[in-house]
Amino acid sequence: MSRLTTAIKRLAEEPPFRLLARSVVKRLSTRIRTRAHWDAVERPQYLLGVLGAADQALRQGVQRIAAIEFGVAGGNGLLALESYAAAVEGETGVSIRVYGFDAGAGLPTLCGDHRDHPDQWRPGDYAMDEHALRRRLSSRSELIIGNVEQTVPAFLRRDDRTPVGFVSIDLDLYSSTVAALRILAGPMRRILHRVAMYFDDVDFVFNHRFAGELLAIDEFNAAQTEVRIDTWRGIRKGRPFPEAAWLDRMYIAHDLEAIARTSLERAPAALPLEQRGAAG
């Protein structure tokens, strides 16, 4: 890349030019990685998560992964996930299967105390038109209906060992999120070393660490030693819109047990040229 091209690129990412640049990217037939960089899609959190999962799969030499949405409701998110999975698969070569988990009849019975935010949700919220949604989905996607307390264990018992690479959680309730996170835990889990995650309900005014998804994350980390969930560190670096609110909802589940068993098969890394004179 020439100095002029680099300068133009940097200028395009500065206010107010970045708004015009994103508008152009949205209208052009650009690479999916470019669209992810510019937030030039309806759900950038899904695209970045799937792309990050595919990149992790390539680093591990994995050819096929799963992307999951917990909390499908009307299905617009699942359809977007399906579309991004197809685009990322075409650009990276990693095969991506999509799963949507939902109760179908709306939110289930709440746990009975503050942890499920009864001041915000009630049973039956966000019921799905299952038949209408199934007609809109392609063969890439599978809709799994039922309470996640039952459907997640059943999913883990399947013979298919495709590792999970991306998970979105929009279940609203603490109790349902606890059940969904079991897909990352235990000896039956099948996940990449690092799983990109999106949590939808962590930054509203009523959210706090003593209820909802934030409490479920804290309890998961306290109970697990093999897998831990942390914020997606460094996610804002180099992005044209680093202030985007959805970036605060992105996390990574690190499979510490699997990472501990790995070793790098490459030559030792050399010092950068500018540091070699100072070495020793």
Q: What is the pLDDT, as a whole number, of residue 4?
A: 66
Q: State how far the Cα of 183 lies from the Cα of 31, in Å rounded to an integer.
A: 32
Tokens of 115: 């942890």
Q: What would the mean pLDDT of 164-185 be, rounded to a whole number?
A: 97
Contact between 115 and 211 (Cβ < 8 Å): yes
Q: What would the mean pLDDT of 163-181 be, rounded to a whole number?
A: 98
User: How sure is the predictor about 92, in pLDDT bands with cuts at 50, 70 and 90?
Assistant: very high
Angle at 39 between CA 2 and CA 97, to 5 degrees: 110
**For the segment 239-278, what is each residue's pLDDT rounded down to a tens digit?**
999 999 999 999 999 999 999 999 988 899 888 877 776 5
Q: What is the pLDDT, as a whole number, of residue 213?
A: 98
Q: What is the pLDDT, as a whole number, of residue 109?
A: 96
Q: State how far the Cα of 43 lies from the Cα of 235, in Å rounded to an integer.
A: 16
Contact between 102 and 75 (Cβ < 8 Å): no
Q: What is the pLDDT, as a whole number, of residue 223?
A: 97
Question: What 3-state DSSP class applies to 9?
Answer: helix
- Pick the closest to residue 99 from 131, 70, 134, 60 (CA basis): 70
The structure's pTM equals: 0.92
Q: Of 76 and 30, which is predicted with more confidence?
A: 76
Q: Which amino acid type is present at position 142? A: E
| Alpha carbons within 13 A on the beta-carbon side of 65 | 33
Question: What 3-state DSSP class applies to 28?
Answer: coil
Q: State how far the Cα of 17 lies from the Cα of 224, in Å rounded to an integer.
A: 46
**For the segment 260-270, what is each residue's pLDDT rounded down to a tens digit?**
999 988 899 88
Q: What is the pLDDT, as a whole number, of residue 14?
A: 75
Q: Can you point out the beta strands (E) in the chain?
A: 64-70, 95-102, 141-145, 164-169, 191-199, 227-231, 250-255
Q: What would the mean pLDDT of 112-140 be, rounded to a whole number?
A: 96
